[in-house]
Amino acid sequence: MVRTFDYDAAFVRNLGWVTALEQAQLRRKRIAIAGMGGVGGVHLTTLARLGIGAFNIADFDSFDLANFNRQAGATMSSLGRPKVDVLAELALDINPELDIRRFPKGVSDANLDKFLDGVDLYVDGLDFFSFAARRATFAACHRLGIPAVTAAPLGMGTAVLTFIPDGMSFEEYFCLEGCDEEEMAIRFLLGLSPGMLQRGYLADPSRVDLSEQRGPSTIAACQLCAGVTATEALKLLLGRGKVLAAPRGYQFDAYRNSFIKTWRPGGNRNPLQRLGLWLARKQLRRMKGSGVGRG
């Protein structure tokens, strides 16, 4: 069995959906991914199989048993090991020629410029509740002219938003300035998925508590996030195919067999969004009053 790596042979089956010239272009691209957890790790391995040649990856966490239901790299042999190291090894096992820069302390104001240096695209893999790091990273991308994609794993589907340099910014869309953590969670969730397709089949509401930053997850959603993000990455990096940029987005829910495109001019300032936010706050207060979400 041949044990030597050859880039062209490894990714030859991509050809047809991309040209040989486009595959060579992907080989020269660098993508930054903050977060190597539920979606971030699957993003890395999926994009490595697409033939992307270089990555900047950031995460300060280590694997534990609670990660096994959804996270790439979460195995008995990786327990206690840093996620950034485990995922880098997995990606290098796919393509030993990868140029991977690791940021084992995660992303912060202190290292964002270095983390985004030479990057062609940013892919969001941060934990849902990492609002400070997410806001800072998207703001830096907007300032540096780097397109950014966030695909949220919601229920058994995904909601996708893409932010382009000359378009609406993350902050302009989500309007998180001056909000407490709970309000940020509500605005981020509803901004990602105005249609809330995932809402109708939540089997046990007690597993959701925004104030305690707790919620359920599935590998089905994480895998879907990686697939759509790789497709968005391909379009952005090669400059072909229609990109729905914020305030436009889309959500696909496999459980409900549903797909919707969303358009919210003004983001969370849009009248429909403001009504949805009011209803979400009202429902949250009702859940707290009944004890649901404290289990």
Contact 289, 203 (CB under 8 A): no
Is a pLDDT exceeding 60 seen at residue 67? yes
197-200 long-range contacts (CB < 8 A, ≥24 apart) are 197/154, 197/155, 197/157, 197/251, 197/253, 197/256, 197/258, 197/260, 198/154, 198/155, 198/156, 198/157, 198/253, 198/255, 199/155, 200/256
Rounded distance, CA 188 to CA 270, Å?
A: 14
- DSSP-derived 3-state class of residue 119: coil
Both tokens of 119, joined, read: 């990057």
Is a pLDDT exceeding 80 seen at residue 285? no
Contact 172, 270 (CB under 8 A): no
Rounded distance, CA 91 to CA 55, Å?
A: 10
Average pLDDT on 178-206 reads: 91
Rounded distance, CA 279 to CA 68, Å?
A: 34
Is a pLDDT exceeding 50 seen at residue 290? no
Phi, psi of 292 (to 5 degrees): -65, 135
Rounded distance, CA 135 to CA 143, Å?
A: 12
On average, the pLDDT of the chain sits at 93
Which pLDDT tens digit goes with each residue over 213-261?
A: 788 899 999 999 999 999 999 999 999 999 999 999 999 999 999 999 9
- The pLDDT, as a whole number, for residue 2 is 63
Which pLDDT tens digit goes with each residue over 78-133?
A: 999 999 999 999 999 999 999 999 999 999 999 999 999 999 999 999 999 999 99
Both tokens of 53, joined, read: 């040649």
Stated as kind and residue range, the H or E segment containing 162 is strand 157-163
For the whole prediction, is pTM greater than 0.85? yes
For the ranges 72-86, 136-150, 227-241, 280-294, which has the lowest average pLDDT?
A: 280-294
- The pLDDT, as a whole number, for residue 293 is 36
For the ranges 37-41, 91-95, 180-184, 288-292, which has the lowest average pLDDT?
A: 288-292
For the ranges 27-31, 182-186, 265-269, 289-293, which has the lowest average pLDDT?
A: 289-293
* Dihedral angle of Cα 11, 14, 16, 18, to the nearest 10 degrees: -100
- The pLDDT, as a whole number, for residue 294 is 31
Which pLDDT tens digit goes with each residue over 3-40?
A: 899 999 999 999 999 999 999 999 999 999 999 999 99
Nearest to 115 by CA among 129, 97, 100: 100
